[in-house]
């Protein structure tokens, strides 16, 4: 998919320091040292509690097509250091030319509901290769996960109504628009206005017309009648160019003509004004004229909070066109995912576990080859436990809150569970069969249905229990004490 869009190598889609570190590993003879890196985020977005993992298919695409082209290497030869001499040894560039990824990647499937500090992606292999993947993986996962989460929140607010993503014109460039359209559909959207996204990803496309269409005619009535004549099987009329309720009446007249020809007025669209009041009055006019099955679309800088408010006011809107605040993640423009070294294979063949220390507790990383075990009962999901795969949890097993070690929970043999991190790439070869975008979208809703409603609240959401398995908690604590004590 990436090649279809860009038609070029994307291996330079990285920060310079990834390449300089790779050079350092190569130059010092440690390029093939086996390491494990873990990608995760520290805080759920939008002041919520849950997050929707998204972007794995793009990551697989990137890894599959990874390689430095002749043009990439020619550019790298032009880079110089502070002494105006070449930054990289020509032999290193020859090494990059022949480099093929042999890493193994394990990840949480797209569409899975996840929580802070849980491993979304785990990369294991030669440290040079793992390092080169840091920036692109964060770029691909952070944004799609953010937008999918925003869309899932909008879906919760809209309930069973139709949600259409209208954001391309406000997106952060071409890639921002395409990526947002994909993630928005996965999170719960029904369609997009983005035709290229429809072509590339198989997302249903939909749309209306602009005010300019109405303004180009001598009257609104003429504009509606002409539109209905031209596209009788796709008529949604924008009614607020002049007087909104007069626009509804003109739409009804166009609808009558459509009906006489065996077609229907699919919907009207409100894009300004008091959406609650106007939708209620529009519904009355439509129903009185016999257009009870004509929908009412609303747009105009909507998000989940406004949707909830409009529903509380009795708005009769049943189709929501969401643009700017969805595709730009307007109220939180970044997820803040990080990619940390968590283990290195030593000379004896065993693992040395690594931890990033900080004065801020939230920034202290967790060591180990991490896996997520999700427990459930008859009501749904009840807790997630992070454990080190090299130290399998005993049964029964105890989970400890990483921010309060006195809060503990023990799970017996009878509690069912599933491990969420699954093999995706093994030594450079893809072993994971990616589901379709429609299946990923269905997974999101199936996942959300298994969580207590309080976890999905927009205001002061309930905290879903996530903790460290006791052995991993003790490993982390001991490493912190060792580092602090010098």
pLDDT level of residue 361 (50, 70, 90 thresholds): confident
pLDDT at 5: 76
How far is 219 from 69, CA to CA, in rounded Å?
A: 57
Q: Which DSSP helix (H) or strand (E) runs through 376?
A: strand 370-377
pLDDT tens-digit map of 175-211: 999 999 999 999 999 999 999 999 999 999 998 899 9
Tell me, yes or no, whether 234 lies in a domain.
yes
For 423, the 3-state DSSP assignment is strand
pLDDT tens-digit map of 93-136: 999 999 999 999 999 999 999 999 999 999 999 999 999 999 99
Q: What is the mean pLDDT of residues 253-280?
A: 97
260, 293, 317 — which closes off a domain?
Answer: 317
User: Cβ(412)–Cβ(396) under 8 Å?
Assistant: yes
Residue 35's contacts (CB-CB under 8 Å, 6 or more residues apart) are: 124, 125, 126, 127, 130, 341, 343, 344, 345
Tell me, yes or no, whether 342 lies in a domain.
no
How far is 410 from 322, CA to CA, in rounded Å?
A: 43
pLDDT at 227 over 80: yes
Residue-averaged pLDDT of the chain? 96
100, 119, 148 — which closes off a domain?
Answer: 100
pLDDT level of residue 404 (50, 70, 90 thresholds): confident
Residue 442, CB half-sphere, CA atoms under 13 Å: how many? 5
Structure tokens at 316: 């009769």
pLDDT level of residue 55 (50, 70, 90 thresholds): very high
User: Cβ(374)–Cβ(415) under 8 Å?
Assistant: no
Tell me, yes or no, whether 222 lies in a domain.
yes
pLDDT tens-digit map of 408-417: 999 987 899 9
Report the percentage of the chain scoring pLDDT > 90: 94
How far is 220 from 238, CA to CA, in rounded Å?
A: 10
* CATH number for position 212: 3.20.20.70
pLDDT at 395 over 90: no
77, 100, 123 — which closes off a domain?
Answer: 100
Question: How many Å is the maximal CA-CA distance in the chain?
Answer: 84
91: containing domain = 1-28+67-100
pLDDT tens-digit map of 258-271: 999 999 999 999 99
Tell me, yes or no, whether 42 lies in a domain.
no
Report the number of distinct structural domains present in the chain.
2
Q: What is the mean pLDDT of residues 43-69?
A: 96
Tell me, yes or no, whether 24 lies in a domain.
yes
How far is 181 from 273, CA to CA, in rounded Å?
A: 27
Structure tokens at 32: 């093939």
Tell me, yes or no, whether 14 lies in a domain.
yes
Tell me, yes or no, whether 5 lies in a domain.
yes
How far is 420 from 19, CA to CA, in rounded Å?
A: 32
User: Cβ(35)–Cβ(353) under 8 Å?
Assistant: no
Tell me, yes or no, whether 437 lies in a domain.
no
pLDDT at 3: 67
């Amino acid at each position: 998919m990436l090649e279809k869009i860009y038609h070029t190598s994307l291996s330079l889609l990285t920060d310079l320091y990834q390449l300089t570190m790779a050079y350092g590993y190569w130059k010092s003879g440690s390029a093939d040292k086996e390491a494990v890196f873990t990608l995760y985020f520290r805080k759920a977005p939008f002041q919520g509690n849950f997050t929707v993992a998204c972007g794995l298919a793009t990551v697989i695409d990137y890894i599959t097509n990874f390689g430095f082209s002749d043009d990439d290497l020619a550019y790298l030869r032009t880079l110089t250091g502070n002494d105006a001499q070449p930054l990289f040894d020509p032999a290193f560039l020859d090494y990059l030319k022949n480099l093929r990824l042999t890493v193994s990647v394990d990840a949480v499937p797209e569409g899975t509901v996840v929580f802070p500090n849980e491993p979304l992606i785990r990369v294991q292999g030669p440290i040079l290769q793992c390092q080169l993947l840091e920036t692109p993986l964060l770029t691909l996962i952070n944004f799609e996960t953010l937008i999918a989460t925003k869309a899932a929140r909008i879906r919760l607010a809209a309930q069973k109504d139709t949600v259409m993503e209208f954001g391309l014109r406000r997106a952060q460039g071409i890639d921002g628009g395409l990526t947002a359209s994909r993630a928005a559909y996965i999170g719960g959207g029904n369609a997009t206005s983005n035709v290229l996204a429809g072509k590339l990803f198989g997302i249903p496309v939909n749309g209306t017309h602009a005010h300019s269409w109405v303004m180009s005619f001598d009257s609104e009535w003429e504009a509606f009648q002409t539109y209905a004549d031209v596209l009788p099987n796709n008529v949604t009329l924008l009614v607020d160019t002049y007087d909104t309720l007069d626009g509804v009446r003109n739409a009804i007249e166009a609808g009558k003509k459509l009906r006489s020809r065996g077609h229907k007025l699919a919907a009207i669209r409100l894009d300004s004004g008091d959406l609650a009041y106007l939708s209620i009055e529009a519904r009355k006019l439509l129903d009185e004229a016999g257009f009870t099955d004509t929908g009412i679309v609303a747009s105009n800088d909507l998000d989940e909070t406004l949707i909830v408010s409009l529903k509380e006011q009795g708005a009769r809107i049943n189709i929501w066109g969401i643009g700017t605040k969805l595709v730009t993640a307007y109220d939180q423009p970044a997820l803040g995912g990080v990619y940390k070294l968590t283990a290195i294979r030593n000379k004896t063949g065993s693992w040395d576990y690594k931890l990033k220390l900080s004065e801020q507790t939230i920034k202290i990383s967790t060591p180990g080859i991490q896996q997520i075990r999700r427990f459930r009962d008859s009501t749904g999901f009840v807790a997630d436990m992070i454990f080190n795969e090299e130290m399998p949890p005993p049964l029964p097993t105890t989970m400890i809150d990483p921010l309060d070690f006195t809060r503990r929970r023990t799970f017996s043999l009878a509690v069912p569970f599933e491990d969420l991190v699954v093999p995706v790439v093994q030594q450079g070869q893809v072993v994971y069969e990616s589901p379709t975008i429609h299946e990923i979208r269905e997974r999101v809703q199936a996942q959300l249905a298994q969580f207590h409603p309080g976890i999905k609240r927009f205001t002061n959401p309930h905290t879903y229990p996530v903790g460290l398995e006791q052995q991993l908690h003790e490993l982390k604590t001991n490493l912190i004490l060792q580092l602090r004590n010098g």
